[in-house]
């Protein structure tokens, strides 16, 4: 039953079969937290899409000076990828119930995330001090805004990560842990995808995006 | 007939929703302060919202005094006036209406109406309230900082909002933006809860189409909020950076007092797009819950099923969807690309169709009904009058050329007050008269209620109906005083004075209402179990007011929709949603399912057992 | 009973008020009579709906009020009725939208032969610039603004030399000639609003916006600011005087051009600085920044 089927029946008529009569009261076959997390992904997607649109709008009307790509940002992307992979591994292990490996993978994920955040801070520092850069280049402002909000989302994720690690160390029920780990993993994948999109936006178009925008 | 044959319902498995972490309160503090019970949180939300609402009300009196009797009140200067407008508008829209409808009514009603023990994430729910309170405190703090609150208008348009020609540009604007960002965090926590609870936490038998329209309205509004507030968040953060760090997201080259400022290259229109991408759905965040609630009030007090339930649901969804593609109708004269006007005028007028359908269905619900002119019914009728009035003036403003002369005049002020000020507030009052007995076990005083209704409804109409005509003359909005003009007749000043007197009288009636709420809480007539003979689930709890866990030992089972009023062949003129089919023919009042009172604490015990 | 009567009174009162009250739009002084017509159409369509819905409700309240033993009919929906109502509403909406879009199309299509006048807004005053003999406005940039060059006109643009600058005086427009108002702000948003012209548009710093009109009635009219622009918003006033052709030409001939103003400013500077040779670098340096705002940043 898709959500669309659920909103067409005539509720004043008796429902056709017993199963429906005892409808479970759920619209999706998902744990509640997962559904809530998906809604949160929608919120995050809107935030970053709006930033993208704002950025593109601005590019269209400036003599645009793109940001210099640096090795640092490439390595940061790799680090975030590692953390995503680590979380994935944690999920796999948690599903199999291999608690010690879960713990190791989780630690790795957290470590790479922190490394990523440190790397981002360093890149901000480079932007500010790098004398090759024009401090008035609006691309800088957007870079800091976008990566800053992305980093804040990761920090929020780290709070949940911390609670999961605590649960693990307290030896909670493996099923409960598995659910938490799954949620973290989904969240990290989401933020990794967002990062890829932003990274592409900030560095790749090499002038193509502004041209597209100007067409409008 | 709207129920299944009795034989079909022989065995019914017990309904219990898994993975709800119900928090059992231990002490006074956990029960009433750090409570995770949705009902307590709802009341906390409502009280806070009403308290800031009072601030906004007092501000409106001061503004009206200034407009009605210019040059009389020396303690209101220009800067004060613009600060009052800004705080009044922002508080009313965000901190009163949004918080009250979603945090207040949403919290109280969703779990009860869907048959849940609580929201699915009670802890997050509690957090949502405290973060909201923080947002309110930060906002209120701006009254006390040097320079006072911001006077940028509730739309906060840059560059003006952060430049020195505007009051409160030092700290006021920073606190305002910070408070909004905090509010959005609070709202997101609440909104995820409302949506997930309604989608995943319903009791057995409660299909989506059996939900009362109140839940549809509030949940759709929550979804709109989740998707629209991010735009305000992004705009707010960018403006904060412009203000605090001197970036130029929204700031072009600016010459102020002959000096070039450090800014350059930014786009003021970008902010307007972000603001209204949030701002227009925001209108519906306020309106949709009101639509839902008023539908339920009308059906219950007219003893008739809501007319065209499915259309009503689809219209709510259609309006919710369309509300994301009409935002630039607030920007017809903003200097954006004028060709956008064609698109946004068209979408705006299209959204009028589902809205009109809702209106027709409300009045058709009254057709051949059995209308009880109770207070909730009166307020609902008042809502229809003001909403239709405000809705049709919306067609003026949405139809791009007509907006050109009228935008930024008092016509706009009259329009939005009618449609998103008066109309939803009448619903709020109706809803409070309706659900107060459920929340407190006592009825509100009828005499005071009648006084409150007639003064508020007729008074508000007298305030805002003539105000449209000031707009036709060409009186601009956000004017501290009109000064000398060649086109405004003397008589317009008289009208302004009249409106001010009416506003003060209406304001006074709200004090009577507050007194009524306090008085009846202690001395009001005891209400019966189901004073309005309502069919929907929230009135079927074993205890009144419902206790922690809501439903006693086991959750109710739902056999039908929420609108079985005056069903042919049924014993009474209403059939509660959870009444087993074999009892539909009985003529005595149904007992709440789940039997008599449950000893305190047992509800939670059952939860444990079910885990 | 009472409720129904009050509802009827509200309807009757509103209609009577509409036709009897002294408050209505100010007599029009531009070609935008179509806008007024669209408002009238909208009034009739929406007014009918308002009256019909409220009277219907009054009737229901009167007829179906609770009595002992009364029971409502059970009618969850009526597909046919609902589709009819939807269809009729759609027609009504189209009836308003079509003329609206038609007039909007005119509003955004400036006639080829329109004169050009620039309005410059700043906290909290209006100034104006006419293109002068050549009919072309010189390029300008907010970054060039200083006390000698309050409009930021590009001193190296030959088109700008004969531009007529009007500061602290009224705006004059000739009757019956279409004019394109170019709007520019150097600080915050403003909105150029003359109630008798019906048209209005925001001034946006960093961009040039526009609207057009043809004045159709001579006289003096108030210019108001209709976009909140700070504490002086309500005192940001001006006057526009619509002249017949002769009066207009006479007034125009008394105005100073940009070149004249600049020369006078230089002369004064010289006097103040004694006999030192003018370096002239002030302008030269800034000129490299000049962009024509008209093309650099079209309105979005
Ligand atoms: C008795 C009740 C009320 C009175 C007397 C009142 C009065 C006013 C006045 C005098 C203004 C300023 C008009 C101007 O100069 O432009 C205003 C603005 C406004 N009001 Fe109300 N108001 C009331 C209730 C409400 C409610 C319930 C809402 C909720 C939607 C609301 C929302 C606004 C908004 C959004 C503004 C615009 C603020 C701005 O221009 O930035 N008001 N109100
Ligand atoms: Cu809107
Ligand atoms: Cu202004």
The reply to whether B569 falls in a domain is no
For the four alpha carbons of C271, C275, C278 and C279, in that order, the dihedral sign comes to negative
ipTM of this complex: 0.89
Q: Are C151 and C47 within one domain?
A: no
Q: What is the mean pLDDT of residues B303-325?
A: 94
The reply to whether B581 falls in a domain is no
- Contact flag A14-B227 (C-beta cutoff 8 Å): no
Q: Are C12 and C94 within one domain?
A: yes
Position A94 pLDDT exceeds 90: no
CATH number at residue B295: 1.20.210.10
Pocket test for ligand 1, best of B55, B58, B88 (most atoms within 8 A of CB): B88
Q: For testing the chain A interface, which of C72, C74, C75, C76 should be mutated: the one with the most A CBs within 10 Å?
A: C76
The reply to whether B7 falls in a domain is no
Q: Are C257 and C146 within one domain?
A: yes
Q: Are C119 and C256 within one domain?
A: yes
Q: Are C141 and C172 within one domain?
A: yes
Position A63 pLDDT exceeds 70: no
Answer yes or no: is the C-beta of B330 below 6 A from any ligand 1 atom: no
Strand (E) or helix (H) holding A96: helix A71-96
Instruction: Tell which wins on pLDDT, B278 or A56.
Output: B278
C45: containing domain: 2-63+83-107
By alpha-carbon position, which residue is closest to atom 6 of ligand 1? B60
Given this model, what pLDDT does residue B39 score? 92
Per-residue pLDDT reduced to its tens digit, C274-299? 554 444 443 333 333 344 444 334 34
Q: What is the mean pLDDT of residues B276-303?
A: 95
Position C77 pLDDT exceeds 60: yes
Q: Are C102 and C203 within one domain?
A: no
Position A117 pLDDT exceeds 90: yes
Q: Are C9 and C57 within one domain?
A: yes
Instruction: Tell which wins on pLDDT, C44 or A94.
Output: C44
The reply to whether B577 falls in a domain is no
Answer yes or no: is the C-beta of B150 below 6 A from any ligand 1 atom: no
| Burial of residue B540, with CB atoms counted within 10 A of its CB: 0-12 exposed, 13-18 middle, 19 or more buried | buried
The reply to whether C120 falls in a domain is yes
Per-residue pLDDT reduced to its tens digit, A16-42? 555 445 667 777 778 888 888 999 999
Name the band, by pLDDT with cuts 50, 70 and 90, for residue C104: very high
Per-residue pLDDT reduced to its tens digit, C171-200? 999 999 999 999 999 999 999 999 999 999
Instruction: Tell which wins on pLDDT, B46 or B24.
Output: B46
Given this model, what pLDDT does residue B186 score? 96
The reply to whether B273 falls in a domain is yes
Given this model, what pLDDT does residue B19 score? 45
Given this model, what pLDDT does residue B544 score? 82
Pocket test for ligand 1, best of B50, B60, B99 (most atoms within 8 A of CB): B60
Given this model, what pLDDT does residue C298 score? 39
Name the band, by pLDDT with cuts 50, 70 and 90, for residue A150: very high
Dist CA B558 CA B562 (whole Å): 9
Q: Are C177 and C235 within one domain?
A: yes
Q: Are C39 and C123 within one domain?
A: no
Distance, CA B461 to ligand 2 centroid (Å)?
A: 22
Separation in Å, CA of A87 to nearest CA in chain B? 24
The alpha helices in B474-541, defined as continuous H runs, are 490-523
> For A91, phi and psi rounded to 5 degrees?
-60, -45
How many structural domains compose chain C? 2
Q: Are C97 and C168 within one domain?
A: no
Answer yes or no: is the C-beta of B386 below 6 A from any ligand 1 atom: no
Per-residue pLDDT reduced to its tens digit, B596-611? 333 333 333 333 333 2
Separation in Å, CA of A54 to nearest CA in chain C? 12
> For C124, phi and psi rounded to 5 degrees?
-130, 70
Pocket test for ligand 1, best of B151, B287, B382, B421 (most atoms within 8 A of CB): B421
- Contact flag C297-A57 (C-beta cutoff 8 Å): no
Position A130 pLDDT exceeds 80: no
Position B91 pLDDT exceeds 60: yes
Q: Measure CB to CB from residue A12 to each of C76, C297, C300 and give the nearest one.
A: C76
Separation in Å, CA of A69 to nearest CA in chain C? 28
The reply to whether B588 falls in a domain is no
The reply to whether C268 falls in a domain is no
Per-residue pLDDT reduced to its tens digit, B217-250? 999 999 999 999 999 999 999 999 999 988 889 9
Answer yes or no: is the C-beta of B413 below 6 A from any ligand 1 atom: yes
Collect all residues with Cβ–Cβ distance below 8 Å to C70 and sequence separation of at least 6.
Answer: B370, C64
The reply to whether B587 falls in a domain is no
Terminal CA-CA length for chain B: 37
The reply to whether B564 falls in a domain is no
How many structural domains compose chain B? 1
Q: What's this model's pTM, rounded to 2 decimal places? A: 0.91
Domain A67-216 has CATH 1.20.120.80: yes
B466: containing domain: 37-255+264-523
Per-residue pLDDT reduced to its tens digit, B33-43? 788 899 999 99
The pairing of beta strand C171-174 with beta strand C238-243? parallel
Percentage of residues in chain C having pLDDT higher than 70: 90
By alpha-carbon position, which residue is closest to atom 32 of ligand 1? B89
Separation in Å, CA of A64 to nearest CA in chain C? 13
Position C28 pLDDT exceeds 70: yes
Q: Are C122 and C256 within one domain?
A: yes
CA distances from B437 to A128, B256, B380, C66 (A): 62, 58, 18, 22
Percentage of residues in chain A having pLDDT higher than 90: 31
Answer yes or no: is the C-beta of B417 below 6 A from any ligand 1 atom: yes
Position B595 pLDDT exceeds 50: no
Q: Measure CB to CB from residue C86 to each of B357, B474, B485 and give the nearest one.
A: B357
Q: Are C129 and C246 within one domain?
A: yes
Position C153 pLDDT exceeds 50: yes
State the number of CA atoms in the 13 A half-sphere of B248 facing the CB: 21
């Amino acid at each position: 039953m898709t959500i669309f089927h659920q909103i067409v029946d005539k509720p004043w008529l008796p429902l056709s079969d017993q199963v429906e009569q005892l409808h479970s009261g759920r619209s999706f076959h998902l744990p509640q937290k997962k559904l809530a997390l998906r809604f949160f992904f929608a919120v995050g997607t809107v935030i970053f899409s709006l930033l993208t649109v704002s950025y593109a709008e601005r590019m269209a009307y400036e003599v645009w000076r793109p940001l210099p790509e640096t090795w640092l940002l490439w390595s940061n992307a790799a680090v975030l990828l590692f953390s995503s992979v680590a979380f994935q591994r944690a999920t796999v292990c948690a599903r199999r119930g291999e608690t010690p490996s879960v713990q190791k993978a989780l630690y790795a994920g957290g470590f790479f995330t922190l490394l990523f955040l440190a790397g981002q801070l360093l890149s901000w520092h480079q932007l500010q001090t790098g004398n090759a850069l024009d401090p008035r280049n609006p691309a800088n402002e957007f870079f800091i805004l976008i990566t800053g909000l992305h980093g804040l989302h990761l920090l929020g994720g780290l709070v949940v990560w911390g609670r999961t690690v605590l649960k693990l160390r307290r030896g909670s029920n493996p099923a409960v842990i598995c659910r938490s780990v799954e949620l973290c993993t989904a969240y990290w994948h989401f933020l990794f995808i967002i990062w890829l999109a932003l990274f592409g936006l900030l560095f790749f178009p090499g002038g193509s995006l502004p041209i597209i925008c100007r067409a409008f | 007939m709207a129920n299944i044959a009795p034989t079909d319902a022989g065995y019914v498995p017990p309904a219990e929703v898994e993975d709800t972490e119900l928090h059992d309160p231990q002490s006074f503090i956990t029960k009433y302060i750090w409570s995770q019970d949705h009902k307590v949180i709802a009341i906390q939300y409502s009280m806070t919202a009403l308290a800031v609402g009072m601030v906004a009300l007092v501000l409106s009196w001061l503004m009206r005094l200034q407009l009605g009797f210019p040059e009389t009140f020396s303690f209101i200067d220009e800067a004060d006036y613009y600060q009052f407008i800004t705080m009044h508008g922002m508080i009313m829209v965000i901190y009163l209406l949004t918080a009250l409808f979603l945090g207040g009514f949403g919290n109280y009603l969703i779990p009860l109406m869907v048959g849940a023990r609580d929201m699915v994430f009670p802890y997050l729910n509690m957090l949502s309230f405290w973060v909201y309170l923080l947002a309110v405190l930060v906002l209120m703090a701006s009254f006390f900082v040097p320079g006072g609150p911001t006077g940028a208008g509730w739309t906060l348009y840059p560059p003006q909002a952060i430049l020195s020609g505007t009051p409160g540009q030092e700290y006021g604007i920073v606190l305002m933006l910070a408070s909004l960002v905090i509010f959005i965090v609070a709202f997101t926590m609440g909104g995820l809860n409302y949506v997930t609870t309604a989608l995943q936490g319903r009791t057995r038998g409660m299909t989506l189409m059996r939900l009362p329209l109140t839940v549809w309205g509030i949940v759709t509004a929550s979804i709109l909020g989740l998707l629209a507030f991010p735009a305000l968040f992004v705009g707010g953060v960018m403006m904060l950076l412009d203000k605090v760090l001197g970036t130029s997201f929204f700031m072009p080259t600016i010459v102020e007092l002959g000096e070039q400022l450090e800014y350059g290259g930014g786009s003021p229109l970008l902010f307007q797009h972000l603001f209204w991408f949030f701002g227009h759905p925001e209108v519906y965040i306020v309106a949709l819950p009101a639509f839902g609630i008023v539908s339920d009030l009308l059906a219950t007090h007219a003893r008739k099923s809501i007319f065209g339930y499915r259309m009503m649901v689809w219209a709510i969804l259609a309006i919710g969807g369309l509300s994301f593609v009409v935002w630039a109708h607030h920007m017809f004269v903003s200097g954006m690309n004028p060709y956008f006007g064609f698109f946004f005028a068209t979408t705006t007028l299209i959204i009028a169709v589902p809205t009109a359908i809702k209106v027709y269905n409300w009045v058709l619900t009254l057709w051949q009904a059995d209308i009880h002119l109770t207070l909730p019914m009166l307020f609902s009728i008042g809502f229809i009058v003001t909403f239709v009035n405000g809705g049709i003036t919306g067609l003026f403003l949405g139809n791009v050329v007509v907006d050109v002369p009228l935008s930024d005049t008092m016509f706009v002020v009259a329009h939005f007050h009618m449609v998103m000020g008066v109309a939803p507030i009448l619903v709020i009052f109706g809803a409070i008269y309706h659900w107060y007995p459920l929340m407190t076990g006592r009825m509100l005083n009828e005499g005071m209620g009648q006084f409150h209704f007639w003064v508020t409804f007729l008074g508000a109409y007298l305030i805002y109906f003539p105000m449209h005509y000031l707009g036709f003359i060409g009186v601009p909005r956000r004017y501290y005083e009109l000064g000398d003009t060649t086109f405004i007749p003397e008589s317009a000043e008289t009208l302004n004075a009249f409106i001010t007197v009416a506003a003060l009288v209406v304001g006074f009636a709200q004090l009577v209402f507050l007194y009524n709420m306090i008085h009846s809480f202690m001395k009001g007539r005891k209400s019966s179990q189901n004073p309005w003979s309502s069919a929907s689930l929230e009135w079927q709890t074993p205890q009144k007011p419902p206790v922690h866990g809501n439903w006693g030992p086991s959750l109710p089972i739902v056999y039908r929709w929420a609108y079985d009023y005056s069903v042919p062949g049924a014993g009474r003129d209403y059939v509660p949603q959870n009444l087993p089919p074999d009892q539909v023919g009985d003529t005595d009042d149904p007992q709440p399912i789940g039997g008599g009172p449950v000893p305190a604490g047992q509800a939670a015990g059952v939860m444990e057992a079910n885990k | 009973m009472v409720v129904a009567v009050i509802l009827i009174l509200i309807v009757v009162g509103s209609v009577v008020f509409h036709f009897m009250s002294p408050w209505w739009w100010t007599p029009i002084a531009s070609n935008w009579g179509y806008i007024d017509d669209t408002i009238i159409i909208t009034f009739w369509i929406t007014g009918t709906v308002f009256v019909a819905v409220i009277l219907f409700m009054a009737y229901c309240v009167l007829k179906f009020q609770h009595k002992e033993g009364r029971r409502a009919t059970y009618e969850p929906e009526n597909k046919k009725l609902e589709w009819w109502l939807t269809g009729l509403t759609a027609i009504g909406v189209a009836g308003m939208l079509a003329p609206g879009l038609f007039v909007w199309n005119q509003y955004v299509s400036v006639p080829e032969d329109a004169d050009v006048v620039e309005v410059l807004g700043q906290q909290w005053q209006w100034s104006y610039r006419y293109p002068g003999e050549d009919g072309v406005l010189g390029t300008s940039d907010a970054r060039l603004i200083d006390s000698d060059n309050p409009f930021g006109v590009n001193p190296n643009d030959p088109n700008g030399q004969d531009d007529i600058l009007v500061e602290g005086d009224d705006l004059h427009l000739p009757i019956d000639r279409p004019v394109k108002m170019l709007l520019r702000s150097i600080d915050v948003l403003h909105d150029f609003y003359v109630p008798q012209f019906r048209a209005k548009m925001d001034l946006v710093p960093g961009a040039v916006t526009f609207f057009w009109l043809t004045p159709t009635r001579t006289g003096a009219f108030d210019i108001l600011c209709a976009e909140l622009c700070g504490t002086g918003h309500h005192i940001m006033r001006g006057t526009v005087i619509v002249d017949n052709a002769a009066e207009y030409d006479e007034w125009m001939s008394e105005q100073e051009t940009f070149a004249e103003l600049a020369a006078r400013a230089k002369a004064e500077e010289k006097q103040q600085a004694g006999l030192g040779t003018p370096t002239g670098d002030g302008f030269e340096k800034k000129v490299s920044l000049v962009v024509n705002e008209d093309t650099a940043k079209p309105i979005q």
